[in-house]
Amino acid sequence: MKRGSLISLFIYAVIAGIIIFLLVLLFRAMVPEPPQSEVEMARAAIAKARDRQSEVYSPRLFREAQNNYDSAMTAWRAENERFILFRDYERVISFAATAREKADEATRNTIKRSTSLKANLESEIKRLKADMASFEKIFLSMPLPQDVKKKHAKGKQLLREAEVDLQKENYVNGNIKLTEANEYISGTYNLARTNLEEYFRHYSDWQEWATSTINESRKSGSYAIVVEKIPAVCHLYHGGKKKYTFDAEFGSNWLGDKMSRGDMATPEGKYMVTKKLSGGSTKYYKALMISYPNKIDIQEFNERTRNGKLPADARIGDMIEIHGDGGKGANWTQGCVALRNADMDVIYKYAAKGTPVTIIGSTLTLDEFFASRSK
């Protein structure tokens, strides 16, 4: 081949290579670039929102983000099925951008809402536990229907579960459970408080009895016993001054005055010691028999029988004592006042036949009692 022909072929080859190169560049320029980065940023934003539990705290926003991401992937697959030069990823990019925007908004909203729910959960648990601390003991000792006690127990269980949810950062579930716990506990407490308010209508009588007994002790310089049901204590006075205070336990149906034999209630009123019992003369450690029923008790019993508040075959109670074998942590007697044996030793030592014994609901008003429990 001639030299000129070789040069011509070389030139043609170079020109052809340049043309092919330019065509490749043109083709690449015409082919739309897949929206890989946009879709990946949307996926990462959704993953972040999911880690923050946005499905729980911001479900609508999270659902919108997920739906837009799914739409982006669907649109991307559809475009990839078209001829490469005819593909258009604008809808994919738009869906991905919306998905990312909604996911970021869900994350921000979740952080804000979870912080608020956490604070609310913490404060409400604290409030409810404080309320329980001031009322739990008296509530559990009250003679209330079993369904009321069961609701209270259910409320306590839900409260414990809410505390677990708080530790696990499940603030939504925790707040739901706490709301239920509050309904159960507050409902039962409100019923109990209503019963107590009715009971404390006799407060003026209690004050009169207790004051009279203490004044008599002061004037005579002798001993006197004052028993309070709320709080459950037994005081020993001498010369009008309180010398000892002991924990006491009563009949299981202690809230209110004794109505009849077998009602498991502890009487309220002014009495005196009629006998001192020990050894084989009592089934308890030691005992002080008191003068129940007194004249007022008999009159009230007869009136209740006449007006039908008691059945015709009802009988008035008797054999009420202050006795030992207490310390059981519950109201368990059939109407007597029970003390620990060591405390009974003290009462037994100083009490004598004729020692005044006054049993009342409380020397505190109901408000004073609750205020003392909250300290």
Domains and CATH numbers, the chain: 3-112 (1.20.140), 117-200 (1.20.1270), 202-373 (2.40.440.10)
How far apart CA 332 and CA 314 sit, in angstroms, is 22
Average pLDDT over residues 183-190: 93
The sign one gets for the Cα dihedral 96, 98, 101, 104 is negative
- H or E stretch at 233: strand 233-238
Return the exposure string of 126-149: e unless at least 16 CB atoms fall within 10 Å of the residue's CB, then b. Answer: eebeeebebbbebbebbebeeebe
Which tens digit of pLDDT belongs to each residue from 263-290?
A: 999 999 999 999 999 988 999 999 999 9
By the 8 A CB rule, do 103 and 49 touch? yes
pLDDT at 14: 63
CA dihedral 97→102→103→106, nearest 10 degrees, is 160
Q: What percent of the chain has pLDDT over 70?
A: 90
Predicted confidence (pLDDT) at residue 32 exceeds the cutoff of 50: yes
How far apart CA 244 and CA 340 sit, in angstroms, is 13
Return the exposure string of 106-116: e unless at least 16 CB atoms fall within 10 Å of the residue's CB, then b. Answer: bbebbeebbee
Predicted confidence (pLDDT) at residue 196 exceeds the cutoff of 60: yes
Predicted confidence (pLDDT) at residue 22 exceeds the cutoff of 70: no
pLDDT at 10: 62
How far apart CA 167 and CA 196 sit, in angstroms, is 36
By the 8 A CB rule, do 366 and 204 touch? no
- Determine the angle formed by the axes of helices 90-141 and 36-51, rounding to 10 degrees: 0
Q: How far is CA 291 from CA 42, 209, 277, 296, in A?
A: 86, 15, 14, 12
pLDDT at 340: 98
Average pLDDT over residues 5-22: 64
Average pLDDT over residues 179-202: 94
Predicted confidence (pLDDT) at residue 100 exceeds the cutoff of 90: yes
> Which residue in this structure is represented by tokens 């009895």?
209
Of 312, 328, 309, nearest in space to 251 by CA? 328
Q: How confident is the model at residue 98 (pLDDT cuts 50, 70, 90)?
A: very high
CA dihedral 266→270→272→273, nearest 10 degrees, is 20
> Which residue in this structure is represented by tokens 């008599």?
216
Predicted confidence (pLDDT) at residue 40 exceeds the cutoff of 50: yes
Q: If you average pLDDT over every residue of the chain, what do you get?
A: 90
> Which residue in this structure is represented by tokens 């709320």?
230
CA dihedral 289→293→294→295, nearest 10 degrees, is -160
